[in-house]
């Protein structure tokens, strides 16, 4: 509701005299539609239209809803002044419906068309619908004192009798006193110093507790003397440490033991960074000693009633080159680690297995498997080969470093078989030694493979299943099969190290002391891709053509060839010798049965093609020919 004018308001004409019996006309803002005004605040007594001023030029009480267009005239209805709009939110009062013609300022409050409350965040705010103009309006959320007679909808906020703030999680929420978690969820709890409880409904899509830290301070800090629990603004967690120790850490703790329980039917990987100092206070560095355990990781498994240790990994400082005890050198930390697993029970579970060291890796890179004596050995394996029908004594992976510039050999060794009655189907050497296989008594080996290559030997620029770098010399063979059978399943190149393009790809001459037989009737004898080329004859049908290939296509000039007339042209070709046979056929571009073609002469480096028009009329066609050279000899 708007009240127009104020007490003592008096109107004057242009001469400065009181506007005796003047008129005030009111219209809906922006229109010529008359607007009803009232003489009382309850809007029950209509004023006349226009509203007449007194003999002193003063107005009566004028009330109306919303905004209006006002026109001031004299008693003869001569216009003196007009204003549009008049009235407005300051007259309507807060929580009035938003009016597109009203000019709002900060912090005017209105009710939007969606029923929500909005506050203006800009001055001169006109014609900006609060439901769609976030640059001009901000929605207000009221916190009401809960009333059993009020119907609440989702996200309505109330303060309960316990002082906590709750949000409704259902519509039609009537007479359900919070904290009834079927209808309400806690969003703010002011916990007393003696403790308190955060209550909420975990089925709600709204988080029970949400902390948004926009500054640089901690998001959450729970003090416990000098052992706080801290969640920093960036999400890092500290447990028991006043200050973070490493900006790269996501979780830091000073407690001696950490227990992790994983209840899952699949594998889980949980990495940790651990640090060891002999300092007795946080942040104090004190050098560790040789053989200090820097971390002992243990893993446990449930047998249905108890947790049993299944293995451990121990990280220790190792002895440097110059000393076997004492502090480790500054700037370096030689180390070793060992892997310990629970050995199987020897009697089916009556006697527990023994935790046994299975792998040790030293600071110098030596590795031991089931045998930790590593003297004079880079790798030593003392375990028998068993466990599967196909078993490998070593399965090597790693990264070759830059100082290894010539060659890296994964494994070189000689193995044998146990003295037991069994058949080893395949014994595959990665690199076979010079010693002769000596099977144990009662055993035998079906196949001994000197070099076996799997189908995943890939990833390099060139991948060789077998490569010999032996230079040609008397008695030197890159590959020698003696009289044994040989089989090559893939394409094979002879005479060159280029990539083969056919099953048998030969660079150079092939000397055959026997017959070459083609036994597939669907496979013709001929030249392969890359041998041939094509050329177009210039000027006329007698023009010489140059094409230096063993096979190719010649497109003749389309000059006219008279009836029953022959024309010959020279084909220069460095591939042709005197005893060769050029075979020429007509491919296309010709009238059917109109021509006869033949080779008239062959010399070193050239041959002559003769084409005759067999018809009774002249023909002007670009005849396309195909030629193939067959090598010949007279010796």
Residue whose structure tokens are 């449930």 = 302
> Is the four-CA dihedral 212, 218, 223, 228 of positive or negative sign?
positive
Question: What does each C-alpha distance from 483 to 440, 480, 486, 511 come to in angstroms?
Answer: 29, 9, 9, 20
pLDDT score of 192: 47
The SS3 call for residue 92 is helix
pLDDT score of 591: 94
Residues of the chain with pLDDT under 50: 89-91, 189-193, 375-376, 433-434
The β-bridge relationship of strands 545-546 and 566-572 is parallel
pLDDT score of 347: 75
CB 173 within 8 A of CB 153: yes
Global pTM exceeds 0.85: no
The SS3 call for residue 446 is strand
DSSP letter string, 171-218: SSEES--SS-TTTEEEEE----TT-------TTSSS-SS-----SSS-
Question: What does each C-alpha distance from 102 to 29, 97, 98 come to in angstroms?
Answer: 9, 11, 8
CB 573 within 8 A of CB 533: no
Question: What does each C-alpha distance from 39 to 20, 110, 124, 232, 285 come to in angstroms?
Answer: 20, 26, 30, 64, 88
CATH class of 533-630: mainly beta
Q: Into which CATH architecture does domain 2-87 fall?
A: Beta Complex (2.170)
CB 151 within 8 A of CB 133: no
For residue 600, give both structure tokens.
Answer: 């008239």
* C-alpha–C-alpha distance, residues 90 and 67, integer Å: 11
* C-alpha–C-alpha distance, residues 234 and 251, integer Å: 12
Please, which residues have CB within 8 angstroms of residue 192's CB and are 6 or more apart in sequence? none
For residue 561, give both structure tokens.
Answer: 């060839």
Please, which residues have CB within 8 angstroms of residue 108's CB and are 6 or more apart in sequence? 89, 90, 94, 119, 120, 125
Enumerate the domain spans of the chain.
2-87, 287-384, 533-630
> CB 595: neighbour CB atoms within 10 A?
19
pLDDT score of 190: 42
Report cis status (omega within 30 of 0) of the bond before 114.
no
Closest by CA to 4, choosing from 30, 19, 25, 34, is 25
pLDDT score of 434: 47
């Amino acid at each position: 509701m708007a009240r127009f004018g104020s007490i003592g308001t008096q109107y004057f004409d242009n001469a400065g005299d009181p506007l005796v019996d003047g008129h005030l006309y009111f219209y809906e803002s922006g229109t010529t539609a008359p607007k009803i005004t009232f003489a009382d605040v309850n809007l029950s007594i209509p004023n006349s239209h226009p509203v007449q001023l007194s003999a002193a030029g003063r107005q009566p009480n004028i009330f109306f809803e919303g905004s209006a267009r006002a026109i001031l005239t004299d008693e003869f209805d001569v216009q003196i002044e007009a204003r549009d709009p008049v009235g407005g939110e300051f007259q309507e009062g807060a929580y009035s419906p938003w009016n597109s013609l009203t000019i709002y300022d900060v912090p005017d409050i209105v009710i939007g068309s969606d029923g929500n409350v909005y506050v203006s965040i800009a001055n001169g705010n006109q014609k900006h619908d609060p439901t769609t103009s976030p640059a001009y309006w901000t929605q207000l959320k009221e916190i009401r004192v809960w009333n059993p007679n009020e119907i609440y909808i989702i996200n309505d906020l109330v303060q309960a009798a316990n002082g906590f703030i709750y949000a409704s999680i259902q519509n039609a929420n009537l007479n359900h006193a919070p904290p009834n978690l079927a209808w309400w969820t806690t969003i703010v709890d002011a916990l007393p110093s003696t403790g308190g409880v955060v209550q909420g409904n975990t089925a709600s899509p709204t988080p029970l507790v949400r902390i948004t830290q926009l500054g640089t301070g901690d998001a959450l800090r729970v003090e416990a003397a000098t052992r706080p629990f801290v969640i920093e603004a960036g999400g890092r967690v500290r447990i028991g440490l006043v200050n973070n120790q490493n900006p790269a850490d996501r979780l830091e703790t000073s407690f001696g033991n950490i227990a992790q329980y994983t209840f899952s039917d699949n594998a889980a990987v949980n990495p940790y960074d651990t640090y060891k100092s002999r300092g007795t206070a946080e942040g104090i560095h004190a050098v560790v000693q040789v053989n200090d355990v820097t971390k002992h990781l243990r893993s446990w498994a449930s047998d249905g009633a108890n947790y049993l240790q299944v293995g451990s990994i121990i990280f220790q400082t190792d002895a440097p080159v110059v000393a076997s005890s004492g502090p480790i050198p500054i700037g370096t930390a030689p180390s070793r680690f060992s892997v310990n697993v629970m050995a199987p029970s020897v009697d089916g579970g009556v006697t527990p297995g023994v935790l046994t060291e299975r792998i040790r890796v030293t600071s110098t890179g030596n590795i031991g498997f089931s045998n930790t004596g590593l003297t004079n050995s880079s790798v030593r394996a003392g375990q028998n080969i068993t466990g599967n029908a196909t078993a490998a004594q070593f399965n090597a992976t790693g990264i070759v470093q830059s100082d290894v510039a010539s060659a890296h050999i994964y494994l070189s060794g000689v193995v044998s078989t146990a003295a037991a009655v069994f058949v080893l189907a395949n014994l595959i050497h990665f690199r076979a030694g010079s010693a002769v296989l000596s099977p144990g008594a009662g055993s035998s080996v079906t196949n001994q493979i000197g070099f076996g290559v799997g189908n995943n030997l890939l990833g390099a620029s060139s991948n060789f299943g077998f490569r010999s770098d032996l230079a040609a010399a008397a008695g030197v063979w890159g590959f020698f099969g003696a009289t044994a059978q040989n089989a090559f399943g893939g394409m094979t190149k002879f005479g060159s190290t280029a990539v083969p393009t056919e099953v048998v790809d030969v660079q150079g001459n092939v000397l055959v002391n026997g017959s070459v037989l083609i036994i597939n009737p669907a496979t013709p004898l001929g030249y392969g891709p890359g041998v041939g080329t094509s050329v177009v004859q210039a000027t006329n049908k007698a023009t010489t053509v140059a094409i230096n290939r063993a096979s190719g296509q010649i497109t003749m000039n389309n000059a006219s060839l008279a009836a029953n007339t022959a024309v010959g042209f020279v084909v220069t070709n460095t591939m042709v010798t005197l005893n060769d046979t050029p075979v020429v056929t007509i491919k296309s571009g010709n009238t059917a049965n109109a021509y006869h073609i033949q080779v008239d002469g062959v010399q070193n480096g050239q041959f002559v093609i003769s084409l005759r028009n067999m018809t009774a009329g002249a023909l002007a066609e670009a005849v396309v020919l195909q030629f193939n050279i067959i090598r010949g000899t007279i010796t």
